[in-house]
Amino acid sequence: MRRMTARPANAHQAKLLKLLRDAGPNSRAQLGDQVDLSRSKLAVEVDRLLETGLVVADGLAASRGGRRSHNVRLNPELRFLGVDIGATSVDVAVTNAELEVLGHLNQPMDVREGPVAVFEQVLSMAAKLRASGLAEGCDGAGIGVPGPVRFPEGVPVAPPIMPGWDGFPVREALSQELGCPVMVDNDVNLMAMGEMHAGVARSVGDFLCVKIGTGIGCGIVVGGEVHRGVTGSAGDIGHIQAVPDGRPCACGNRGCLEAHFSGAALARDAVEAAEQGLSEELASRLAAHGTLTAVDVAAAAAAGDATALDLIREGGNRTGQVIAGLVSFFNPGLVVIGGGVTGLGHTLLAAIRTQVYRQSLPLATGNLPIVLGELGQNAGVIGAARLISDHLFSPA
Amino acid sequence: MRRMTARPANAHQAKLLKLLRDAGPNSRAQLGDQVDLSRSKLAVEVDRLLETGLVVADGLAASRGGRRSHNVRLNPELRFLGVDIGATSVDVAVTNAELEVLGHLNQPMDVREGPVAVFEQVLSMAAKLRASGLAEGCDGAGIGVPGPVRFPEGVPVAPPIMPGWDGFPVREALSQELGCPVMVDNDVNLMAMGEMHAGVARSVGDFLCVKIGTGIGCGIVVGGEVHRGVTGSAGDIGHIQAVPDGRPCACGNRGCLEAHFSGAALARDAVEAAEQGLSEELASRLAAHGTLTAVDVAAAAAAGDATALDLIREGGNRTGQVIAGLVSFFNPGLVVIGGGVTGLGHTLLAAIRTQVYRQSLPLATGNLPIVLGELGQNAGVIGAARLISDHLFSPA
DNA sequence: CCTTCTTTGTCCTGTGAGTGGAGAAAGTTG
DNA sequence: CAACTTTCTCCACTCACAGGACAAAGAAGG
């Protein structure tokens, strides 16, 4: 039986586990340098962790000029499941306790099919990963959903793009199916956690993580912690007004950012442009596929199509304007741009940067990097694994 | 010698001091209920605090059905100075350790006269308060300045409206003059701390505190802590674009919120309206004073002047639009409106509310109070006193 | 091969923080 | 005056933790 049941018994053990997770195998001596404990006390706690099975011995390290150290590491048999439910696709990944992705599956799927259908899909993907020998069991799972979540309970609330999910007990249901602890969060927050853990936001305490996919959202990290807001809807910037009296939005208002730029809006605008004969490139793609997506626009832009480039620039400007306001307000140390439309690459990034650097206060932008996310498709699932591991590696 | 030199020796003592500050005199038994320590340990820590002189015995309390308790309280001779430097005036107040305002002076003064002149003024006001017998000495001072501050060092950085202050070592200089510890922060952050401590935001963890005075700023409180941002400029919302291609702003951009609504903008618009003959009320006031301020507009509005009301509504709408975006982004549990223009009262509040409730997500506004600050002129100085007491009541 | 130095890990004891119970002190209620 | 409450103090016991002594294991140099 290798299923993880133990939890750290105290804050020291929790800190050690997180250290081993983030820094990999380590000797007692090296751990001691980082946790502010005497060697004796540290040895005691490490021994207790070894007893629980959360941590295992990992052979001898090379000498550093004296006696060789006995390394310890997180139990390599531990497995976390990272699930990222997007508006139009589902990602499932298996990681070890150090949050390295061992296997990753992606499946197109419309979230509006509802929780039951989606979870059937998730479970079958998880089963496939397990069948491939990557995991015997599952010690915990993190789930991201594209909408606000009442975090303590793990329940989506009033999600605009996934009405069938309102109030569905995601955490409880999935915990039962998988037989392990489950944590649920907004997908954007998880992307932020992913980039913070293994991506471009390592060692940054306060940053914003803007995800532009089917919709637009923003992960807010304050002092290394995700800020979720009092009802779990923090970061929902898609419905901030970007254009006074602009396009009508599904939410009932006009001029929302999301109505002017997002995967969906971009596709819509591209179709319009193609139909109006503004771009042969887009028109031919429309004829070929019968529809257009952000990917088509990216391809057209890469081919030098002026209309596609304009659409991207225009969207980047809108987005940049909104981000400029948020930067003035929040004064982050970093802005990460991620999500499906990162395929639009530097055209988009340049437009966003221009707006932010022009409109925000110099003091706030003086030393503010605005960069693309590093983890791409992996950000969400890594963040999800991180979420559950943060939970399980905290005292019970 | 009654000057406070001691600091709490550990986290327990710090917690006890803050409890006594916030809840007033208390018995050991009542303290024990709130501090999660055994009675024996608690008694030890209280005794040590008594030894230091930070805390003194305060007689017997009424019986609650058994032996009467011996109350303790913070030393009633301790004095904090709260200083709130605004764009056009200086407030100085003396408080006791429980942060009750014992005396309060206000003096019009232009911050652009520079730190030397302003501090001369502050010191003379402090001397006057001392002379009136309210304070023998001063055990700590908190200072608010109308611009960004590098918080750890207590130095203003790149303040737009007070150029002469850039880099001036406020903390060090004032600490030397007053002979006591000093902490410096942005005035808006202090207002937020004031409302959190003794005002309308008691017991709210996450809230925004919008101060509309000569300029516009926003205090951001996350989990009971003020968020200052990486360069101390968080909350600087005055230069968020509110009107595309709107009025030119001193910052060089166009359409900044502050260019459209703030004490200064309102006065300017009122003069314009008066000169254009749109309002007799305003015109007669202009003739009488030679100039107009937000106070005149408030009076005209109170008298039913349609133009004045329109100006306020218009400004409230602009402000409300920006706040709506921030509410969607931050998802606070409360929005407090304060600052000089709160004299504009419910006309302003109604306009702001309308915009926020209309434009923000229902999930974020569903249970979101938007209220006027409770402390008025006192908010800044109380927040300042709170700032220094938080500092002094933390382990050294 | 042997000595000396370095690093790592273990063992043991002393210290100080903290708990919990006994009981004294000081009330209330009937 | 007896019985019950509440508050406060004292004391003994537990436990977390530090820090030193020491053993184990290796490197470097003669």
Note the pLDDT of residue B298: 87
Q: Which residue has the higher pLDDT, A4 or A207?
A: A207
CA atoms within 13 A on the CB side of A263: 19
How far, in Å, CA of B383 to CA of B201, rounded?
A: 12
The nucleotide minimizing the C1' distance to residue B39's CA is D8
Residue A97 has pLDDT above 80, yes or no: yes
Coil/strand/helix, residue B104? strand
Q: What is the pLDDT of residues B355-389, one digit of tens each?
A: 999 998 889 998 999 999 999 999 999 999 999 99
Instruction: Decide: CB of B35 under 7 A of nucleic strand C.
Output: no
Helices (H), chain B: 11-23, 28-35, 39-52, 115-131, 170-178, 187-198, 257-260, 263-275, 280-289, 294-302, 306-330, 345-359, 362-365, 378-392
Q: Provide the 10 A C-beta neighbour count for residue A270.
A: 28
* Neighbour count for residue A87 (Cβ, 10 Å): 21
How many CB pairs below 8 A link A and B? 134
Q: What is the pLDDT of residues B182-238, one digit of tens each?
A: 999 999 999 999 999 999 999 899 999 999 988 899 999 999 999 999 999 999 999
- Phi, psi angle pair for A332, to nearest 5°: -80, 170
Cα angle at B75 between B70 and B80, to 5 degrees?
Answer: 150
Residues from chain B that touch A205, judged by Cβ atoms under 8 A, are 230
| C-alpha to C-alpha distance for A219 and A212, rounded to whole angstroms | 11
Q: What is the pLDDT of residue A93?
A: 97
* CA-to-CA separations, A362 to A365, B38, B163, B248, in angstroms, rounded: 5, 52, 14, 17
The residue among A328, A367, A370 with the most chain B CBs within 10 A of its CB, best to mutate, is: A328
pLDDT for res A1: 45
User: Taking 50 as the threshold, does the pLDDT of residue A125 lie above it?
Assistant: yes
**Nucleotide in closest CA–C1' contact with A9:** D16
Q: Three-state DSSP class for B215? A: coil
In tens, the pLDDT along B227-242 reads 999 999 999 999 999 9
**Distance of residue A347 Cα from the nearest chain B Cα, in angstroms:** 23
Write down all domains in chain B, each with its CATH number in brackets.
11-74 (1.10.10.10), 80-196+378-392 (3.30.420.40), 202-372 (3.30.420.40)
**Nearest CB to B233 within list A205, A253, A364:** A364
What is the pLDDT, as a whole number, of residue B343?
A: 74
> At residue B341, does pLDDT exceed 90?
no
- Reduce the secondary structure of chain A to three states and give it as a string: CCCCCCCCCCHHHHHHHHHHHHHCCEEHHHHHHHHCCCHHHHHHHHHHHHHHCCEEEEEECCCCCCCCCEEEEECCCCCEEEEEECCCEEEEEEECCCCCEEEEEEEECCHHHCHHHHHHHHHHHHHHHHHCCCCCCCCEEEEEECCCEECCCCEECCCCCCHHHCCCCHHHHHHHHHCCCEEEEEHHHHHHHHHHHHCCCCCCCCEEEEEECCCEEEEEEECCEECCCCCCCCCCHHHCECCCCCCECCCCCECEHHHHCCHHHHHHHHHHHHHCCCCHHHHHHHHHHCCCCHHHHHHHHHCCCHHHHHHHHHHHHHHHHHHHHHHHHHCCCCEEEECHHHHHHHHHHHHHHHHHHHHCCHHHHCCCCEEECCCCCHHHHHHHHHHHHHHHCCCC
Tens-place pLDDT, residues B149-171: 999 999 999 988 888 999 999 99
Query: Cβ of B367 < 7 Å from strand C?
Result: no
What tens digit of pLDDT does each residue of B10-55 get?
A: 999 999 999 999 999 999 999 999 999 999 999 999 999 999 999 9
pLDDT at A290: 84
Q: How far is B74 from chain A (nearest CA, A)?
A: 32
Where is average pLDDT lowest: A197-206, A279-288, B330-339? A279-288
B357 near A CB under 8 A: no
Strand C lies under 7 A from the Cβ of residue A39:
yes
A10 neighbors A395 (Cβ within 8 angstroms): yes
Instruction: Tell me the mean pLDDT in the region A21-42.
Output: 93
Residue to mutate among B221, B240, B249, B260, with most A CBs inside 10 A, is B240
What pLDDT shows up at residue B185? Answer: 98
**How confident is the model over A308-330, as pLDDT tens digits?**
899 999 999 999 999 999 999 99
- Strand D: positions under 7 A of a protein C-beta atom: 4-12, 16-20, 23-28
Residue B1 in this model has a pLDDT that exceeds 50? no
Chain A nearest C-alpha distance from B165 (Å): 15
Return the closest-CA partner of residue A216 out of A350, A344, A337: A337
Is residue A62's beta carbon less than 7 angstroms from any atom in nucleic acid strand C?
no
The owner of tokens 């070890």 is A96
pLDDT at B89: 94
What pLDDT, on a 0 to 100 scale, did the predictor assign at position B3? Answer: 61
The answer, for A244 touching chain B at a CB cutoff of 8 Å, is yes
- For chain A, percent of residues with pLDDT exceeding 90: 74
Determine the average pLDDT of the residues in A183-200: 97
Q: Which residue has the higher pLDDT, A278 or B101?
A: B101
**CB contact A381 to B (< 8 Å):** no
pLDDT 10s digits, B246-296: 999 888 889 999 999 988 898 899 888 888 888 888 888 888 888 888 888
For A345-383, write each residue's pLDDT tens digit. 788 999 999 999 999 888 999 899 999 999 999 999 999
Supply the pLDDT for residue B27.
Answer: 92
Which nucleotide has the least CA–C1' distance to A27? C8
User: Using one digit for the tens of pLDDT, what is the confidence trace for A235-258?
Assistant: 999 999 999 889 998 888 899 999
